[in-house]
């Protein structure tokens, strides 16, 4: 017998799409602004540079700061909250490597707390619960949350999971671009990594501790085998803090439709990444043209941290070269127009909705870690996502879920599971 499918949501979706098609651009903009203002808009993955972040040298509260995620850009774009990533690159899985990773993580924790508590306490505040997210957002301050990208800094001491929790971490990406002591990575062994298959015995203990504390398990970067193991062992919903759809872009960093279905059954959410290579890869010809341009101009794009080290004269020279490079890139963009943009970003949201429904998709840009596409290149352009969603006929309820509602629901469920585990252990 064929499965009975509730057709009501599909009928409503078609009605919403027809309404979007009938609206003028002015009406679309007006409606998008109203919804954007009402939503709690959240981005679950933003990288921060090590060392100089939240100092005078790299001040995310300054209008001049070149990062894609800054307080002024969030304020301009109506972006309420971000998870700042305590990212640590993969190194050797030995005592020395774990110690260095732990120190690197602590430097970033300190920077995030410095931003909220010392530099800009009137403009932003740290949230460690969904209720705090909502309360802070109502005050008009930006909401800062913390995720850990790569469980490597945990080392082999399970107590570090609770230590990081007390510092504010509310999700942990189990690994990064190389295998670690917790699990196998989608990037394979990687630099300094080890042989691994799925989630290790120690990794299972880490997941259990995360469930006990209420830390969300993040599957971005983990291998398919690790994903399968996590679905089997976790007691709480999972998240993919910054991933796309493999059916649209064949990258091991993206989730397959089968994984999306498993995530939905688990009650989790995939937060859509805004990194071009995971939305629609640049064609080889385009990449070749870019490489040749950089070689011809002898030009290298610098990170915000690298820029902070330049003298005033060096910055002027760099800015002139950057402008020349950007003018030349416009010609390449015209020649190869298939560059992923905000429309391609929303295409992946469409796909998740079509495969598993609107309750399991959100936004996690990977800004300042490679993320950013034309139309959604930094947080000042966040409204453009809402405009595109309205244009495609998404309802207000749908958009509120995408921008933050779904993630907050999953977070609350993880808190509930943690409470149940603790009550059971009493």
Pairing verdict, β 124-126 and 42-47: unpaired
Residue 17's pLDDT is 62
Nearest to 48 by CA among 366, 302, 375: 366
Which 3 state secondary structure label does DSSP give 85? Answer: strand
Which 3 state secondary structure label does DSSP give 377? Answer: coil
Alpha helices by DSSP H, listed for 157-233, are 159-166, 201-213, 224-233
Q: What is the pLDDT along the chain (426 residues), one digit of tens a residue?
A: 333 334 555 555 655 666 566 899 999 999 999 999 999 999 999 999 988 999 999 999 999 999 999 999 999 999 999 999 999 999 999 999 999 999 999 999 999 999 999 999 999 999 999 999 999 999 999 999 999 999 999 999 999 999 999 999 999 999 999 999 999 999 988 766 788 899 999 999 999 999 999 999 999 999 999 999 999 999 999 999 999 999 999 999 999 999 999 999 999 999 999 999 999 876 677 888 889 999 999 998 888 878 888 898 998 999 999 999 999 988 887 777 667 999 999 999 999 999 999 999 999 999 999 999 999 999 999 999 999 999 999 999 999 999 999 999 999 999 999 999 999 887
Residue 13's pLDDT is 61
Nearest to 82 by CA among 168, 148, 143: 143
Nearest to 346 by CA among 363, 333, 360, 359: 363
**Whole-structure pTM value:** 0.87
To the nearest 10°, report the CA torsion of 327, 329, 330, 333.
180
Residue 188's pLDDT is 87
Pairing verdict, β 216-218 and 361-363: unpaired
Task: Give CB contacts under 8 A, 24+ apart, made by 187-190.
Answer: 187/221, 187/252, 190/90
CA 169 to chain centre: 15
Tokens of 346: 């929303």
Which listed CATH number (3.90.78.10, 3.40.640.10, 3.65.10.10, 3.20.20.140) goes with 23-281+339-425?
Answer: 3.20.20.140
Span(s) in the chain for CATH 3.20.20.140: 23-281+339-425
> What's the rounded Cα separation, in Å, for the pair 72 and 115?
14
């Amino acid at each position: 017998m064929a499965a009975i499918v509730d057709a009501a949501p599909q009928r409503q979706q078609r009605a919403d799409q027809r309404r979007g098609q009938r609206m003028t651009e002015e009406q679309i903009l007006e409606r998008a602004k109203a919804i954007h203002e009402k939503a709690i808009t959240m981005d679950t993955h933003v990288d921060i540079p090590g060392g100089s972040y939240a100092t005078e040298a790299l001040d995310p509260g300054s209008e001049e700061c070149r990062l894609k995620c800054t307080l002024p850009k969030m304020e301009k774009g109506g972006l309420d909250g971000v998870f700042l990533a305590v990212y640590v690159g993969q190194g050797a899985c030995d005592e020395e490597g774990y110690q260095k990773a732990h120190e690197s993580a602590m430097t970033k924790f300190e920077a995030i707390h410095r931003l909220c508590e010392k530099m800009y306490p009137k403009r932003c505040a740290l949230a460690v619960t969904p209720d705090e997210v909502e309360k802070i957002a109502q005050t008009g301050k930006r909401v800062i949350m913390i995720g850990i990208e790569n469980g490597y800094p945990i080392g082999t001491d399970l107590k570090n999971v609770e230590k990081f929790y007390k510092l504010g971490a509310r999700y942990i990406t189990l690994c990064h671009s190389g295998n670690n002591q917790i699990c196998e990575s989608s990037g394979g062994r990687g630099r300094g990594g080890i042989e691994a298959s799925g989630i290790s015995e120690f990794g299972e203990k880490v997941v259990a501790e995360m469930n006990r504390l209420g830390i969300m398990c993040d599957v971005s970067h983990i291998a398919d085998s690790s994903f399968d193991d996590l679905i089997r062992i976790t007691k709480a919903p999972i998240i993919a803090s910054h991933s796309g759809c493999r059916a649209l872009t064949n990258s091991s960093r993206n989730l397959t439709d089968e994984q999306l279905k498993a995530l939905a059954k688990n009650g989790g959410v995939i937060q859509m990444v805004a990194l071009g290579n995971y939305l629609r890869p640049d064609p080889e010809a385009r990449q070749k043209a870019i490489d040749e341009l950089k070689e011809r101009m002898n030009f290298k794009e610098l990170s915000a941290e690298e820029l902070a080290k330049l003298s005033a004269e060096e910055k002027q020279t760099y800015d002139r070269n950057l402008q020349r490079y950007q003018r030349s890139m416009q010609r390449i963009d015209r020649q190869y127009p298939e560059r992923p943009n905000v429309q391609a970003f929303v295409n992946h949201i469409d796909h998740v909705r079509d495969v598993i429904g609107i309750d399991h998709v959100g936004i996690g840009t990977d800004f300042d870690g490679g993320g950013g596409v034309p139309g959604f290149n930094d947080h000042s352009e966040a409204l453009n996502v809402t405009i595109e969603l309205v244009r495609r006929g998404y309802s207000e309820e749908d958009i509120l879920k995408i921008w933050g509602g779904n993630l907050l629901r999953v977070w609350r469920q993880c808190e509930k599971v943690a409470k149940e585990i603790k009550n059971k252990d009493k």
